[in-house]
Structure 1
Amino acid sequence: MRKHWGKKAMTMMIVSGLILGGCSGNGNGNGNSNSGSEKENTPSAAAGESAVKTDGFPIVDEPLKLKMFTRIAPANGPFKEMPVFQDYEKMSNIQVEFIESPTDGFPEKKNLLFASNELPDALYRSALSPLETVRYGSAGQLIPLEDLIDQYAPNLKALMEEYPEIRAGITSPEGHIYSIPGIVTLGSARTDKRWINKSWLEKLNLEVPETTDELYDVLLAFRDGDPNGNGQPDELPMTARKGLQIVNFMAGSFGLDLQLGYNININDGKVEIWSGSERHKELLMYLNKLYSEKLLDQELFSHTEAQYLAKQGTGNTGLFYDQTNNNFLPIMDQYVGIAPQAGPHDDRLQSNVAPVPRDFGAFAITSVNEHPEATMRWIDYFYGDEGSTLLRFGREGEHYEMKDGIPYYTEEFLAIEGAQGKMTPYAGGGAPHIINDKVASFINPPQVQEAYEQLEPYMPEIRYAAPMFDEATAQQVNVLRNDIDKYFEEQSTKFIVGALSFDKWDEFQATLKKMNLEELQKIYQEAYDKMAK
């Protein structure tokens, strides 16, 4: 029977993060005893530094410098040339030197920083996982932030009070917060839309596919029907971001959810890791069929993020996934958002939905930072409407204008190709700030809102975010997942591209079992049981 998830999803409860232990809340944010009542004029750790103000600008009277390690997306220019950081330096009296690392290869460089202990003052747009956050926090390389938030982050503190799932999702079992997320209260910004080339559908007299079988037929027609009319077989029927993102996008059609930040279904209170399940096999067989018949991008496992984004803007792609439409604005009328397809067992779930603290580990302060109070004040600005507007829209009059209290890019600015990515770090995702309806005019225009409405009825009613385990459990999970995830990704890729026969499926399942998949499942079950109490 087909699963309909209902309009209740508009107000779906986001159950976020698990505190698997006592929340003492008594750790100092900067690791010293300088907390308490001196809120109006609390000095930083550096001798001779001017007092850090708890509100207003500048943050400090005497200029100071910070170094921050950051990810730079393909669309971005140098951060030092972005108006947000140029203007904010003048406002705050804090100069930031960004150590930039491209998206491709960023995780490796981030890990090397911690392994070598050559740390910056902070990590910006850092995408620290819960496991990394607990590990580096417990090791003393990241400092606790809860007291700093209480004293120097009024915007973030207010959001955490309004959305309790934020605090729950980022607090370790010991009661510490070692990193803060990008926060998204706008529903349409928490999931990628499914964009299909409606011009091709119309030319080939096709309907929007409602099932995975119909999707196959549509992609076949895109490949063979010359919908672009140039007489050449050069159409790209379907593409996605690099690697196994395609598995996440299609999982819901095969009854597979992504709960607790992992390959997990929860049925009647029972946690099931589906990595070696028969439903997963069916999904991989379907993707293998698409790939082997060149209906799925042959560069899926090799193209870069920049190349993927470029494919969206060609108008020569049939189906792809993205949160918004700003990568294909010049040809936006050619595409429309559609619902997920029903799979072979009538499952129709939009599984890849993020919680309100969407971008976990977006910002963290390291133990070498001599100015943690000023650093927290610096980042907190972007969790308010004013700071988020500066970060996302730049300078009023030059880059945007206000209409009914909402910032909109000027037509002149939008006409400059690639201007947004060079102007703001939000392009490319993962920046630590607030995304709400007041600052989302560009990523949430009517076309995107309509695409979101197509997905909304099929979203899970409850979204459980990744648990935060205690240090010992986190280490255990890390050891298990390092082997399991690597093997899962390698073998799944081989199944999709046809380098591994499905005759080897039993062997695949047996190997996962030997890697203690059941033990990992037990840990997640215990986490869920405590969460569901």
Structure 2
Amino acid sequence: MGEHSKIVMKKALISLLLISTLAFVLAGCKSPAKESADSNAGSAFNKEGLPLVNEPITLDVLTVRWGNMGDSFKENTWLQELEKKTNVKINWQVMSSNDWGEQKSVMLASGKLPDVIIGNLAFGDADIINNLSYFRPLDEYIEEYMPNLKAAMEETPVMRKISTFPDGKIYSLPARLPSRPKSAHQPVINKVWLDKLGLKAPTNIEELYTVLKAFKEQDPNGNGKPDEIPISNTGDIEMGLLSSFGITNLRVNNMMIKDGKPVYFPISEEYKEGLKWVHKLYAEGLIDPESFTQDGTMLSAKRQNPDAPLIGFSYQWTPDAVFGKWSDQYETIAPIAGPDGERYQEGDPDGLSFRRNEVLITTFNKYPEVTARWIDQFYTGEASIQNFWGAIGTSIEKNDDGTYSLMAPPEGTSADAWYWEKSLRDFGPKYVSPSFEKNIKLDPTTGDGLKLELDKLGAEYVTQPFPEVMYTEEEYQQFPTLTVDINNYIASTRAQWVTKGGIDENWDAYVNKLNDMGLQQLIKIYEDAYDRYMNVK
């Protein structure tokens, strides 16, 4: 058999295997409990109170988890109690993100989906918009059967805005996670190096330049070698450096909001000035020359170099995130002020709490009213924290004064890993109101509590990001054609200007070439989507 034939046969076998796996999963949709409920579809449905139905029914609920996380979250006692109280049994179908891509394609092509999809790892905006016939519009169900979600959308209008599709309908439901910071990546610096050189944490770009130069030239790691690398990154510059010039890119689409209007920043004056400054740092050896070529493994090896710490400054979620055994040497500092004297912090003034596509009710679901009421049980503060950290009595302690504290994870387990094991965590329906949040007591030295503590440094400087907008089917079709070439050209030009300079001389030609590549068409897509989002009431 020729090599080509072997490859074809192998692909065919993989496809067959996936189809039979999914056939087995979908066959699970017809559990005996479901059969009995199907034959009793008229089982009395209660519009109010519990149980939701007088006779038990079963819903097939699919969720996708990261990697090898498995399904231990099903043991969450809040979920188990919910089954008893509602008479709605859940047949969980837990998929791994490792092979979900192929499984998803097969499932969408099969024309048969489970009753409910939970978690935004399963289907993104484009998946939903390109397969609308599979998903129920939920506006009427929210109005009639979901008082908790309806109240949440009234209290926090962003919940409705991020969930409204371009046709004006809601097909998927949102979440607001508890106790999330406003700041995204914040500046992190080696404090031991600062102390050794008698320097203070930099507050503006002039001071940052002075500190980086000292890091480079004065052997702060004390090993007698000129091996210190003030700044290093993978495949590009450290984009956080541009935040001092007012440029933040939370959605990673080159869009930001300035003076209440959407702006495409790679053709802005701020971007130009920011790159000139970054070129100055590069030209003086303060930025790792391998930043544009190295991968994550190489950067990680530098950050966790066994003999001495090598990296001086970066932007991270928390100071202990990436530096291995040197983590204790790093501290988060306030945003670095730019040439205009202002500080800018990437993030979201509403908090990095909001998610969409967290729940979908499919058109295969025979009990949409029951399902809507079942989902609405998740949209209370107490339900939400138990689906984010774990159940009360397992991971959360409910105190006599009405507050909630997190229990310590078992010895040798990180808090984050433990919460993922005990709950749906980031996935699924949730709503924690700002008033309920005040009752949650977190340890400020670790995990989610530490991030809130560090957030105090940057929260007041957080810029308004380009919102989480939605695109139409036609816009999605245009995106790849436009963004691939435009983004590649912007990245290669940025690398050239940082390493070799010449931005002033080449700027006009650069902007003209971007326009020739269809930039104005791309900007119009962003602006149209922004207008639709802002007009959702």
Specify which of 380, 383, 389 is matched with residue 379 of structure 2: 383
TM-score, L = length of structure 2: 0.69
Specify which of 397, 402, 406 is matched with residue 405 of structure 1: 402
Map 1:35-434; keep pairs closer than 5 Å.
Answer: 46-49=38-41, 50=43, 55-56=49-50, 61-62=55-56, 64-72=58-66, 78-82=69-73, 85=76, 88-89=79-80, 91-92=82-83, 93-102=89-98, 114=108, 119-126=113-120, 131-132=125-126, 135-136=129-130, 139-184=132-177, 186=179, 188-189=181-182, 191-222=184-215, 225-229=218-222, 237-238=230-231, 246-247=238-239, 249-258=240-249, 262-267=253-258, 271-284=262-275, 293=285, 295=287, 298=291, 302-303=295-296, 318-323=312-317, 327=321, 334-346=329-341, 348-353=343-348, 355=350, 358-403=354-399, 404-411=401-408, 413=409, 415-418=411-414, 420-424=416-420, 429=426, 432-434=429-431
Does the aligned pair in 2 maintain the 1:195–1:319 contact within 8 Å?
yes
How far does residue 410 in structure 1 lie from its aligned partner after superposition?
A: 2.8
**Alpha-carbon distance change, 320 to 433 in structure 1, aligned in 2, over 3 angstroms:** farther
SS of aligned partner of 1:362: strand
**Alpha-carbon distance change, 492 to 260 in structure 1, aligned in 2, over 3 angstroms:** closer
How far does residue 173 in structure 1 lie from its aligned partner after superposition?
A: 4.5
Separation of aligned partners in 2, 1:393 and 1:516: 46
Does the aligned pair in 1 maintain the 2:216–2:226 contact within 8 Å?
yes
**More divergent stretch after superposition (112-121 vs 517-526):** 112-121
Separation of aligned partners in 2, 1:302 and 1:150: 49
Separation of aligned partners in 1, 2:327 and 2:360: 37
Deviations 1:143-176 (A, max 9, x none): 2122333344333222112112321332234331
Does the aligned pair in 1 maintain the 2:396–2:406 contact within 8 Å?
yes
**Alpha-carbon distance change, 95 to 157 in structure 1, aligned in 2, over 3 angstroms:** same
Query: Which amino acid is 2:462 matched to?
Result: M
Which consecutive unaligned segments of at least 5 residues does structure 1 have? 1-43
Map 1:422-461; keep pairs closer than 5 Å.
Answer: 422-424=418-420, 429=426, 432-435=429-432, 436-439=437-440, 441=442, 447-460=450-463
Of Structure 1 and Structure 2, the greater helix share is in 2
SS of aligned partner of 1:191: coil
Does the aligned pair in 2 maintain the 1:46–1:371 contact within 8 Å?
no
In the other structure, the counterpart of 2:4 is none
Which consecutive unaligned segments of at least 5 residues does structure 2 have? 1-35, 84-88
Does the aligned pair in 1 maintain the 2:63–2:92 contact within 8 Å?
no
Number of residue pairs the alignment of both structures matches: 474
Q: Among the aligned pairs, what percent are the same residue? A: 27
Point out the structure with max Rg over C-alpha. 2
SS of aligned partner of 1:364: strand
How far does residue 208 in structure 1 lie from its aligned partner after superposition?
A: 1.6
How far does residue 116 in structure 1 lie from its aligned partner after superposition?
A: 7.0
- Across the aligned residues of Structure 1 and Structure 2, the Cα RMSD in angstroms comes to 4.8
Does the aligned pair in 2 maintain the 1:355–1:465 contact within 8 Å?
no
How far does residue 207 in structure 1 lie from its aligned partner after superposition?
A: 1.8
**More divergent stretch after superposition (507-516 vs 47-56):** 47-56
Does the aligned pair in 1 maintain the 2:176–2:354 contact within 8 Å?
yes
Query: Which amino acid is 1:390 matched to?
Result: Q
Does the aligned pair in 2 maintain the 1:211–1:341 contact within 8 Å?
yes
SS of aligned partner of 1:148: helix
Query: Which amino acid is 1:364 matched to?
Result: L
SS of aligned partner of 1:386: helix
Separation of aligned partners in 1, 2:237 and 2:500: 21
Does the aligned pair in 1 maintain the 2:162–2:174 contact within 8 Å?
no
Does the aligned pair in 2 maintain the 1:133–1:178 contact within 8 Å?
no
**Alpha-carbon distance change, 515 to 479 in structure 1, aligned in 2, over 3 angstroms:** farther
SS of aligned partner of 1:341: coil
Separation of aligned partners in 1, 2:211 and 2:129: 47
Does the aligned pair in 1 maintain the 2:76–2:391 contact within 8 Å?
no
Does the aligned pair in 1 maintain the 2:203–2:336 contact within 8 Å?
yes
Does the aligned pair in 2 maintain the 1:223–1:236 contact within 8 Å?
yes
Separation of aligned partners in 2, 1:223 and 1:521: 41
**Alpha-carbon distance change, 351 to 485 in structure 1, aligned in 2, over 3 angstroms:** farther
Separation of aligned partners in 2, 1:144 and 1:488: 35
**Alpha-carbon distance change, 253 to 119 in structure 1, aligned in 2, over 3 angstroms:** farther
